[in-house]
Amino acid sequence: MNFGEHITIDGYGGNEKLLNNKKLILSCLNNLPTILGMKKISKPEVYFVKGNNKKDPGGWSGFVVIEESHISIHTFPRRRFISADVYSCKNDMNLALIKRYFKQKFELKELETNFIKRGTRYPVKNF
């Protein structure tokens, strides 16, 4: 038994306008937990982060805390890139749905994903 699952998504070639749309990012953070059968325990938060003239040209960062853990989204519109993750103590996440969701919402051309089983030695009882 493992504690939970964590999928990371890096999306390339997205629609710059969608990646720069605060309302869309907020909507994703608000709706995805429900679609996945998870319960929000906070309102989604989204912040604009200005670039640093190095590799980060600026974009939006947002998150929502859920009973099962969290979902986060970081967009870099000028690079047409998104970095997102869904971490849950629930097992058997619908990975295909999550990938499709992000790909469609931001019109991503390509996805790079990693899937991690978290807490593979999670204790079965309290100490």
Tell me which residue of 68, 73, 90, 66 sits closest to 27, measured CA to CA.
Answer: 73
Does some domain include residue 23? yes
**What pLDDT digit, counting tens, does each position of 64-108 carry?**
999 999 999 999 999 999 999 999 998 999 999 999 999 999 999
Residue 53 has pLDDT above 80, yes or no: no
pLDDT at 39: 96
Known catalytic residue at 89? yes
Does some domain include residue 48? yes
Number of domains comprising the chain = 1
Does some domain include residue 126? no
CATH code, domain with 106: 3.60.90.10
Domain that holds residue 14: 4-118
Which among 6, 28, 69, 88 is annotated as catalytic? 69
Does some domain include residue 125? no
Which among 27, 61, 83, 89 is annotated as catalytic? 89
Does some domain include residue 124? no
**What pLDDT digit, counting tens, does each position of 20-52 carry?**
999 999 999 999 999 999 999 999 999 999 988
pLDDT at 56: 82
Does some domain include residue 102? yes
